[in-house]
Structure 1
Amino acid sequence: MPRSIDDRILFHDDIETMEVDFSGYAFPNSASVNRFYDRIEERIAETGEEQWFFLVNYSGLWIEPDAWGAFARRGKELNKAHSQGSVRFDVGEETRREIERAAETEAFDPNLFADREAALKRIDEFPTQRRSQTVHVPNYGPEDLRRRLRFLPDTEIMDIDFKDMTFEHSGDVHAVYDFLEAEAGKTGRKWYFLVNYENCRIFPEAWVSYASRGKRLNLGWSLGSVRYAPGSETEQTIRMRAESQDFRPNIRNTREEALARIEELKREMV
């Protein structure tokens, strides 16, 4: 039987290390990459610890050309959000070249080793960056959010404005979605969601809670969701993560295009 993704993610609490075993694994496309990295993020969130050393086994890993972009991006985001030092071992020649090329471009030490023992010795040299349990204070309160939400009964639209907002951490996510759920609940009905993502930023460390809370809000109160974000990084990330999370991103460039898409959704519901 093939090993599950969960079987390939191990946590060694005594050395503050998450071990990811890519040995013999193949990523045929970006969706497979996103699925694996989604699960890594979820498993980290389940530990209650945000910072880990990363120990990664690359033995026999195969990454198709179409998957490399997603693999590089998700790896970079994961390291930025949760790594206090990463080491890799038993890396094939082609993968080694890609990692070294990325390391040169992004100015980081790839920490490539021949075997697991050497990689563990390197981890032992890293200083811990963990602190006492972090309490995330939200950057947004009800008054900030109230002006960003409108209900338009004539068109059945719940109009959400995330323009220029930054979700730095889970505290921001929960504050915003607690508010949205409460306000939607007061109406006692479902709505078409129209969401403005212009210049909105979602930090990597906020994505797990953001995806979870967004899914919950949609399941509870949405007739269909359409987003608009002209060429933003958040748009690219939403499209990428939609591949593995089984939803249609429905992203348009302008509000007018998004409204037109909502009208299409209404016709599809008939």
Structure 2
Amino acid sequence: MKAEIERRIHFDYAQRIMFMNASGMRFEQPVDVDIHFDAIEVSIAASGERHWYFLIDITGASISPALCKAYAGRIHALNLHHALGSARYGSGPDITAALASMTKETGFNMPVFPDKAAALRYLQDIRDANVPPRVDERTLRFHDLYPRVTFDTNRRIVEIDMSEMTLNHGRDVSDLFDHIEARVVAMGQPMKWYALVNYRDTQVLPAAWVEYSRRGRDLNTSFSLATLRYNVPGEEAENIRARSASGGFAPNIFATRAEALAQLDLLRSMREA
């Protein structure tokens, strides 16, 4: 399904437009929403450019009312991180009502136009206004991050303390993961560790979620034997579980550090058996 969605996405580098053909798509289960947006995020990352104007054909598309909140959260995060502007066209009454509900939910405007030409004119008006992309200001520095990453070489554990941390945008995410990766590389062999992450009072804001998901996935692939999370706030746990369902990884969320460590020891014993 993800590959099919990726085939619907095209990039016009001259006009800086990402075209998404969502015509006829039906969002009936939560995983439909997450697979859809996962595919878009992967395609944008592969494009080599962060910022695009979004042009979306929603002719004949439909969204279950029960999924409006999840869809709104993902599209809001995607736009905050990647969009210079967005326009939709070709909607029917069902999806128009759904988009209106999402706009009310998030306060994020999702304009819909009667046809492609009108949508393109809207994007051209935004381009003519020459509004530069938002620049993320740095809020996390080396002295903030260094004590938050520690290593237990005997048990092959890297602990990441994200307690009371707020990731506001992609720059915060990049600074955090750049630091973690540099510290792991500096440890030398072994390159792969069990990661234990404290999420107490952590906030990953919508503008940070796209990059947080991408960097977390890359970090796990390159450096992690398993990642276990504990003290995860409700909203963050919901986001992690949703992305794990579409991304094919275990959320590994535990109430306490002791529970996470017990599971880590079980995973280690199974690996070493």
| Residue aligning to 1:101 | 101
Per-residue deviation, 1:73: 1.6
Separation of aligned partners in 1, 2:62 and 2:78: 20
Aligned partner letter, 1:188:
Q
Separation of aligned partners in 2, 1:230 and 1:181: 22
Per-residue deviation, 1:58: 0.9
Aligned partner letter, 1:157:
I
| Residue aligning to 1:26 | 26
Per-residue deviation, 1:104: 3.2
1:173-212, CA deviations, whole angstroms, 9 ceiling, x for partnerless residues?
3433333234334152243211012222334454444334
Partner of 2:4, secondary structure, is coil
Residue segments in structure 2 that go unaligned for 5+ positions in a row: none
**TM-align CA RMSD:** 3.0
1:74-126, CA deviations, whole angstroms, 9 ceiling, x for partnerless residues?
11211222333322211121111111122234344442222212222333333
| Residue aligning to 1:183 | 183
Where do residues 42-53 of structure 1 align in structure 2 (5 Å cutoff)?
42-53=42-53
Aligned partner letter, 2:201:
N
**Alignment length, in residue pairs?**
267
| Residue aligning to 2:140 | 140
Separation of aligned partners in 2, 1:170 and 1:194: 22
Is 1:23–1:57's contact at 8 Å kept on the other side of the alignment? yes
% identical aligned pairs: 33
1:208-234, CA deviations, whole angstroms, 9 ceiling, x for partnerless residues?
443343334333433321101342433
Partner of 2:56, secondary structure, is strand
Separation of aligned partners in 1, 2:160 and 2:109: 41
Structure 1 residues 86, 148: CA separation in 2 closer, same or farther (over 3 Å shift)? Answer: same
Partner of 1:55, secondary structure, is strand
1:27-70, CA deviations, whole angstroms, 9 ceiling, x for partnerless residues?
34222321221222233334454433322111111334564443
Structure 1 residues 226, 105: CA separation in 2 closer, same or farther (over 3 Å shift)? Answer: closer
Is 1:230–1:254's contact at 8 Å kept on the other side of the alignment? no
Task: Determine which of 238, 241, 264 is the counterpart of 1:239.
Answer: 241
| Residue aligning to 2:35 | 35
Aligned partner letter, 1:194:
L
Residue segments in structure 1 that go unaligned for 5+ positions in a row: none
Is 1:168–1:205's contact at 8 Å kept on the other side of the alignment? yes
Of 229-238 and 29-38, the range deviating more from structure 2: 229-238
Per-residue deviation, 1:170: 4.2
Where do residues 77-226 of structure 1 align in structure 2 (5 Å cutoff)?
77-126=77-126, 127-130=129-132, 138-153=138-153, 155-185=155-185, 186-189=187-190, 190-226=192-228
Of 190-199 and 108-117, the range deviating more from structure 2: 108-117
Partner of 1:18, secondary structure, is strand
Is 1:199–1:232's contact at 8 Å kept on the other side of the alignment? no
Partner of 1:160, secondary structure, is strand
Aligned partner letter, 2:198:
N
Is 1:151–1:159's contact at 8 Å kept on the other side of the alignment? yes
Of 2-11 and 76-85, the range deviating more from structure 2: 2-11
| Residue aligning to 1:252 | 254
Of 45-54 and 143-152, the range deviating more from structure 2: 45-54
Separation of aligned partners in 1, 2:151 and 2:241: 26
Structure 1 residues 267, 64: CA separation in 2 closer, same or farther (over 3 Å shift)? Answer: farther
Is 1:51–1:129's contact at 8 Å kept on the other side of the alignment? no
Separation of aligned partners in 2, 1:188 and 1:16: 43
Structure 1 residues 160, 223: CA separation in 2 closer, same or farther (over 3 Å shift)? Answer: same
Is 1:54–1:86's contact at 8 Å kept on the other side of the alignment? yes
Q: TM-score, normalised by structure 2?
A: 0.82
Runs of 4+ in 1 over 6 A off after TM superposition: none
Partner of 1:54, secondary structure, is strand
